[in-house]
Amino acid sequence: MDISAAGGTSIAPAARALDVIGADLTERSLRRYLEGIAGVDAVGLEARAEALGTRSIKTTSKAWALDRIIALTDLTTLEGADTPGKVRSLVAKARVPDPDDLSTPQVAAVCVYGDMVPYALQALGGAHAGSTTAGSGGINIAAVATAFPSGRASRAVKLADTAEAVAAGADEIDMVIDRGAFLSGRYGEVFDEIVAVKEACRRDDGTYAHLKVILETGELNTYDNVRRASWLAILAGGDFIKTSTGKVAPAATLPVTLSMLEVVRDWHRLTGEKIGVKPAGGIRTSKAAIKYLVTVAETVGEEWLQPDLFRFGASSLLNDVILQRQKLASGHYSGSSYVTID
């Protein structure tokens, strides 16, 4: 529905927002809630992120960390030149990341454009998380939608984009918010769109594809905006909050991800509900990824280090993790009891 940014018009209901804000869920009450959130201490946030990023871990812990990174990865191809063959190659790598070591974990998901979902589904076969043989141990299919990456399309087009991907077999939808509307203060419009996309994730059997809400933090300019957008996405029904499309610089950064994790921590304390976080774009090395694992564990707890609650969105990260895993197995780090990750 159309929302007046200045008025008190009621907005589309979302159970979370009703529980937190109350029955009087309007543009005005939503704005009052979001603008009442405490500002971010940027200096303190960046200092904490830097401190977390200079931790060291034992070599034995690194072996676990490398496997965990793989198991938390959304292996991604999101190029205009994507073809069915490229998607099949991506799926093959997702299923067997290291053909020389079959103990290597599978990735959490493959992430593709909506029209590539049928090819990913066919290539996964029994390894698909939705198959009866793989079950919860299988690989999910994530599809970007809502006119990714720009989000510049009518709501009808965005909803059709989402529904088509879900109907084709997508387990997860990665949507983009309307950054123009958000930065203009039209919070109710952004809220309504997330609610509508969430409903478009509904399958015929009444279940829902998981919804990851991409904030595109590189365009939000301030940590305050990142925090406010994170709260807005969660209130509207997002299952995950995601930093970036990977098409805008800067993409994921440790301070921004830390800020989003703090929102998830505060939401859990407020409601008992666990929301996922997905940093995406720019995380290319195992050293960088381990910093994120440490930040997650120290901010929301190690229980978040599982695919339902944390993901890496990456296309090249897996290559480095496999290389480091091979070095570790060959005894490359045997002379040191600790491995620095700074």
99-151 pLDDT tens trace: 999 999 999 999 999 999 999 999 999 999 988 676 668 999 999 999 999 99
Query: What is the model's pLDDT at position 2?
Result: 40
pTM: 0.93
**What DSSP letter does each residue of 270-308 carry, written as one string?**
HHS---EEE-BSS--SHHHHHHHHHHHHHHT-GGG-STT
Q: Which two tokens stand for residue 184?
A: 């203009």
How far is residue 158's CA from residue 144's CA, in Å, rounded to a whole number? 11
Distance CA 198, CA 202 (A): 7
Q: What is d(CA 170, CA 114) in angstroms, rounded to the nearest whole number? A: 8
**Length of the chain as a residue count:** 342
Query: What residue ranges define each of the domains in the chain, with the CATH number in brackets?
Result: 15-334 (3.20.20.70)
Higher pLDDT, residue 136 or 70: 70
- Catalytic positions are 174, 242, 278
The pLDDT confidence band at residue 82, using thresholds 50, 70 and 90, is very high
pLDDT at residue 12 tops 80: no
**128: enclosing H helix or E strand:** none
Residues β-bridged to residue 111: 76, 142
For the residues 215-224, what does the mean pLDDT come to? 98
The H helix count followed by the E strand count for the chain is: 13, 10
Q: What pLDDT was estimated at residue 133? A: 74
